[in-house]
A = this chain, B = another copy of it.
Amino acid sequence: MSVQTQNAAGNCSDCPIRHRAVCAHCEKPELNELESIKYYRNFEAGQSIIWSGDKMGFVGSVVSGIASLTQTMEDGRTQMVGLLLPSDFVGRPGREGSPYDVTATTDVVMCCFRKKPFEEMMARTPHIAHRLLEMTLDELDAAREWMLVLGRKTAREKIASLLSIIARRDASLSSGGPVGTLVFDLPLTREAMADYLGLTLETVSRQMSALKKDGVIQLEGKRHVTIPDMGRLMEEAGDDTDGGMLG
């Protein structure tokens, strides 16, 4: 795995997540100050970024790749409680440790700030605190959406919900195109999907096969997914499309 720091003396203005991350509202002088306290770090797929309970010396943003937040019980049952995509923030200013494990699901590049200087800067810079509040509210919405999935949806609906979330995110990143055929690669193993959805990996596998058999999705290999009809998928997810979104 290339351990190159792809943006080593990285210039914030070239940053791919510049306008979505915690620094989104910052102006040039603020960006300059952030640049002076930031550094990049690479994590390989599977590697732990933070252990639950550890003191965190840094906070930062995911620049590329995917990381996950998970909680684990003593007997080994685990539940994923968050999926961190590029521009998502890691760490909580004002808190000592992390209550969850943070793990790199794919190779990950992070833009890190030492915690103390970042907190001090945040206290002086309402832009940053405000953006962080916005992002935290978004995460809260996502978590609560997920509580409905975990608590009330069937296995089939859970799978369809996860696929539709990933599909929509990919659509917004790439084409931005409207409702047509969507194609993407699953960034998660069956086991990670199970941990996300509160299922076993066998059930995930069975429901993926069932959705494929019923023509809701097409699979090439294990990861490459084609969605011929997004509306159909959303019906399967139980998220109704307001009754059919005529174009």
Query: A residues touching B (Cβ–Cβ < 8 Å)?
Result: 69, 71, 73-75, 77-79, 81-82, 92-95, 99-100, 123, 126, 129-130, 132-134, 136-137, 139-141, 143-148, 150-152, 197-198, 238, 240
Q: A146–B81 Cα gap in the complex (Å)? A: 9
- Copies of this protein in the assembly total 2
Complex CA gap A148/B95 in Å reads: 21
A147 touches which of B94, B95, B150, B238 (Cβ 8 Å):
B150
A-B contact pairs, 16 of them (CB 8 A): A71-B148, A75-B238, A77-B152, A79-B152, A94-B134, A99-B141, A99-B145, A126-B126, A132-B133, A133-B136, A143-B144, A143-B147, A146-B147, A147-B147, A147-B150, A151-B197
Residue of B nearest to A198 (CB): B151
Contact call A69/B126, Cβ cutoff below 8 A = no
